[in-house]
Amino acid sequence: MHKPNITVGCVLPVCALVLCSLTYGLFRNSDAAAAALDPRHLTRQQMRLIADRAYDALDRQFTTIDGEELADLSFTTRHNRVYITVMRGSEVRCCQSGTMRESNDRLDSHLDDAAKECARDDRFGDGKLNADEMDDAYITVSFLMNRRPGSKILSRLKQEFEPGVHGISIERNGRSVYYKESVPIHGNYSVEKTLQQICKKGKLAKNCYEDPETNISLYDAFSFLAGRSGPVTVFERENIPLEIADISSHMLRERLNLAEQWFLATTGTGGLLRYRYSPSRDTYSSDNNELRQLATLWAMTDLAQFLRSDALTPLIRRSVRHYLDQTICDGTRCHVLPAGEGHIAHSAFLLLTLVTLPDYPDAAAWSKKIAASIVEQQRDDGSYKIFFNDNEDTGMDYYPGETMLALMTYHAYSGDTNALASVERAFPFYRSYWRGNRTTAFIPWHSQAALLLYRETRNPEIPPFVFEMNDWLIANHQVSSSPYRDLLGGFRKPIPGCSTSAYLEGLNDAYALAVDTGDSIHQDKYRDAILAATRFLLTTQYTPENSYYLKNPKQAVGGFRTSLTDNTQRIDHTQHAVRALMQLLENDIVQ
């Protein structure tokens, strides 16, 4: 039988960039195809049987048992290609494609052929897979099905191809190259980068996907992970699917404990946090953002208090000292100037940290002077001058809200009436500002500041404005419908990501305000939005279960990713996430 020229459906990366194919089959008999199962409709028991058959076929490569046949599967699946990868830890140990048999539609035969090729594979680790390794190896089975042509126009293909959901192949001059759906997730590839990499894999030009002679095909995908025994685990974009009903207070506390460990793992040689980490490459960037460092310092201080843990204390105290050393004082006022330039939000986050860390030496004195310096920046119209020098105001959607939250928190700590009066004067100005410049970034910080202001003043104008902002946010920017269910609940449309946690902070305080005012309609609305967003947010956190393919899982576990398709971790992603989860627990939204 003629065998077309087909490459193995994997990449040979450092430390398991992708899960690799062992075999595939194509249906020729229409009756058999009609009777076959869509892999997405397999029961857990059927998945377990497929995994058992794959293990048995692999074991048979090392042990000969005369007269004993492998049991046939009593069903087959409707697929274009099926992948099985043998792994130990995060290391691929077997990655092979079996013989294509277009006349044979039996899934078990495909697994048998693949096992034979797999046993000969010597490209990984210390050479060929051996019998001893099979004892603790696990496998991933992935199906690609429903083949269809993909556009050669990149802008259209970006709409057709969803990383982590679809498989892809290119065909040129009778040679086909495949990527399963996990490749862009493991490699942290954009759609364009995925296309460039698959062209490179096929030893073609970098932009071969644009060539009229190249055919692109897309596939739906379904994957599950299995060990020697026990239940199988179904993946969505390399995540374990999570339902709202799965969320509990115990789970959230476990996730906060993981985040605490991530902060510790992210500490650099200088004793301060490193800013950005790439799990796919296991490298840190050299860039930094002082404002996000200060915001994260506050979040860590808050987290340590919440968990009643001293684990972060040395890191927190080193960081506080680092920024106090960059604080400029003039009589009764002080403000922080990191790297020689700062604005009110830098001082606001240092103030929030000191208020949350009252046992730090001279915390009260430092806090008083920093708060006085911020209040001094307020203009007659209630607005704040952003910079302490002559720079023009920028960051109006962020910095004033952060500052108002800091002043209200300081007022609760100290009873300082100047801080309270400053926020009262600022509220009407920034309410008018937002109504003329509606942006999402403004809402979380001002919602948090407004809750504290309302609890202190009972100003009846505050709740309607907070509800106005958050109603607009939910209606316009929360994903309520999508063909990809793992995106549901996230912010912002159409591709939600790390900003979900920041909006959750504001929504939690909007919910608390609805409770305070007895507004049951908004309580229900915000509770639903919070739970949906929390489900999405938790899927962006690396845990021991969804980090198995990384080169250095310990460095990534506990941190939150940029999105479901971009695994870059930044300190502010985790900063916002931990505060949102703490607020959720404080509001008793889950049990």
| Token reading at 165 | 């959901």
Locate 289 and state its tokens. 């953002």
Q: What is the pLDDT of residue 15?
A: 38
Quick one: pLDDT at residue 66? 62
Which H or E element spans position 200? helix 191-201
Name the amino acid, one letter, at 378: Q
User: Looking at residue 23, what is its pLDDT?
Assistant: 36
Can you give the pLDDT at residue 97? 57
CA distance 498 to 489: 12
From the list 463, 347, 462, 344, the residue with the least C-alpha distance to 396 is 344
Q: Residues for the chain: how many in total?
A: 591
| Residues of the chain where predicted confidence (pLDDT) is lower than 70 | 1-34, 64-68, 96-105
**pLDDT value for 19:** 39
3-class secondary structure per residue, 492-544: CCCCCCCHHHHHHHHHHHHHHHHHHHCCHHHHHHHHHHHHHHHHHHHHCECCC
pLDDT of residue 26: 39
Q: Which residues contact 323 (CB under 8 A, 6 or more apart)?
A: 294, 297, 336, 338, 350
Q: How high is the pLDDT of residue 34?
A: 52
pLDDT score for 446:
98
pLDDT tens for 298-310 read: 999 999 999 999 9
- This prediction has a pTM of 0.90
